[in-house]
Structure 1
Amino acid sequence: MATTNEEKKQYVKEYIRSLATIEECIEPYQEQKRELRTEFRENGWLNTDEIRAAVKAYRLYKQKYNIDEVVENFTIITGGNSNDS
């Protein structure tokens, strides 16, 4: 833990520099995600709500939830047939 105000200021500067570097590296990927959403909406493949539901399902999957349960819940939410793939 920083003991003086000057040390704390130095750590804040260091943190901000590191954060800025990370965010700069991430930005191209954020732009790709925006472009991907736009492409799927413009082509009529998925609407905004369907994209949101897919993202939520993906995040649940990443958290090690059972993918079959995720798909089943997605199907219930979207009103689709559970036999559709």
Structure 2
Amino acid sequence: MLLNMKESCLEVKRVKPVKSAEWLPPAGEALKFNVDGSAMGNPGIAGIGGVLRDKSGKVWGLFFAFVGRLDSMAAEILAIQRVVSMCSL
């Protein structure tokens, strides 16, 4: 029996891979800031946020804000800038 490659290729359904995220705690007595920025569109309505945790996962601080119309890369950079300014107080 010969397999028709065109027909068999059409039967394959593409599955989008699921992205998995795992939080890794900081070493020793350090604290860890995780940040994110995203936009709905390019550019689009954008937001930033972050959380400061210790090795046990206890939350020591957090922030979030809408930041206007930006692309996602600019939102990511703005989130990092916000953390740097918070840490230098």
Taking structure 2 as the reference length, the TM-score comes to 0.29
Give the structure with the larger strand fraction.
Answer: 2
